[in-house]
Amino acid sequence: MSQASLVFACRPIAEGKAEGTVLISKDEIMFYLCDPATGRITEKGHCLEGRSVAGKILVFPGGKGSSSVQVDGLYQLLSRGNAPKAMIIERPDTILVTSAIIMEIPLVDRVEPGFYEAVADGDLACVDADKGKITLVKS
């Protein structure tokens, strides 16, 4: 990370560390409505419709859908190498928390104030859920 980076404290949920490009969703995400072969969101009318979550640091408000479709959707993405590298969530739910832990996808929430104003699509971010911090490099 560069010296021009911003660091934000967060609450670790699923441990691990990942670095990648930020993808922001203002809409909740149902991972079952992602194409496992590409990671592209297929949900009609979703703010990220047609964009891929594969290998991204995904910033989103929360999940939606039943437990079985959410777990299966994320598992299908992961098994094809198209899951997000890490997830920053505003409103975690039991299903996404459990899935992230089992699938070893770093997951954090309760990011300190200012993060959501500072972050933008395309920024580089390092999510360190082991240390409870997010390092953000503006694009």
| Sequence ranges of the domains in the chain | 6-137
Token readout for 61 is 């408000």
Q: Is the pLDDT of residue 134 over 70?
A: yes
CATH of domain 6-137: 3.50.30.10
**Tens of pLDDT, residues 80-116:** 999 999 999 999 999 999 999 999 999 999 999 899 9
Token readout for 15 is 């441990």
Host H or E run for residue 4: none
Is 66 a catalytic site residue? Answer: yes
**Could you tell me the pTM of the whole model?**
0.94
Q: Mean pLDDT, to the nearest integer, of 112-133?
A: 96
Q: Are 125 and 24 in contact (CB under 8 A)?
A: no
User: How far apart are alpha carbons 97 and 101 in whole angstroms?
Assistant: 6
Give the full edge-to-edge strand order of the sheet including 57-60.
6-9, 133-137, 124-128, 17-24, 57-60, 86-89, 107-109, 11-14
Number of C-beta neighbours around residue 122 at 10 A? 11
What integer pLDDT is reported at residue 139 of this predicted model? Answer: 67
Q: Which residues pair with 53 in a beta bridge?
A: none
**Tens of pLDDT, residues 20-72:** 999 999 999 999 999 999 999 999 999 999 999 999 999 999 999 878 888 99
Q: Catalytic pick from 2, 25, 52, 66?
A: 66
